[in-house]
Amino acid sequence: MKKRLFKTLVCFSGMAGMILAAFMPVASHASTETDFINSIKEPVVTVSHKNHLYASVMMAQAILESNWGQSELALDGNNYFGIKGAFEGNSVTMNTAEYTGKGKRYTVNAQFKKYPSVKESIEDNAKILRNGIDSDPDYYDGTWTENTVSYVDAATALSSKYATDMNYGNKLTKVIQKYDLTKLDSSTSSGSLDINQQIAAGVDDSIGDDTTNKTVQTNMRRITANPDDLKEIDKTEQLFKEDSAKKADQQGKEFKLENKLLKD
């Protein structure tokens, strides 16, 4: 009887150990992912909001490009977005995977920017998306909040432009959905904003910064060139109101699309 009881206890103990062992790595992995997101949430939200970009897309990029902050490039260069070149003369050389136009994968050694901190990496990523490339300042305009309905459009716009991987946009979208990163699009570093606050903040930020609506800017230049044409002033004012209404409509469509995606 004692031997049978002992065997039963040993068996139960072994099963319990196997169960715990099965769950512990998952919990640890989830904790690592949460810690990573929380560690860069504040600068990602602040920088993306300032530059009229999707925080969800920026966070997803950081996750993919840096492998949750554990890639060699992230650890050695604070480079969380795989940005090539040199930052203030500093760089690191890494072996990286590229894709041909037909989707064939190959590897090459390339020079990547080395940043003093993650914050500079995040800021540089936003700067690139807002300013494009030398030959085309609007190269990444498909990622701007004023030109898109939702984060899906912005993520898709990065395929074949930001990365040579044609599935890059789909990968970003899957990461965003899996980790519910869209909540970052409606928050600031200090907390959440309701829809009216978001729209008001977007309008306020558009005054006097580098990302003011281009249509309004163009008409303002026309007014300066033709000060006697007072009708242009009324047109510009109307365009600004329409732009604000358009942003509100885009926000509404975005939330509806997100709810639909969640239900699907």
The phi, psi pair for 223, rounded to 5°, reads -65, -45
As to burial, measured by CB atoms within 10 angstroms (0-12 exposed, 13-18 middle, 19+ buried), residue 142 is middle
pLDDT confidence of residue 15: 47
Strand partners, 136: 133
pLDDT for the residue numbered 104: 81
pLDDT tens track for 104-149: 888 889 999 999 999 999 999 999 999 999 999 999 999 999 999 9
Q: What is the reported pLDDT for 102?
A: 73
Phi, psi of 102 (to 5 degrees): -95, 5
**Domain positions in the chain:** 33-192, 193-264
Give mean pLDDT in consecutive 10-residue pieces for the chain, a chain of 264 residues.
47 46 48 92 97 98 96 96 96 86 82 97 98 95 96 93 89 97 78 40 45 45 45 54 64 62 56
CATH class of 33-192: mainly alpha
**Which tokens sit at 187?**
């928050």
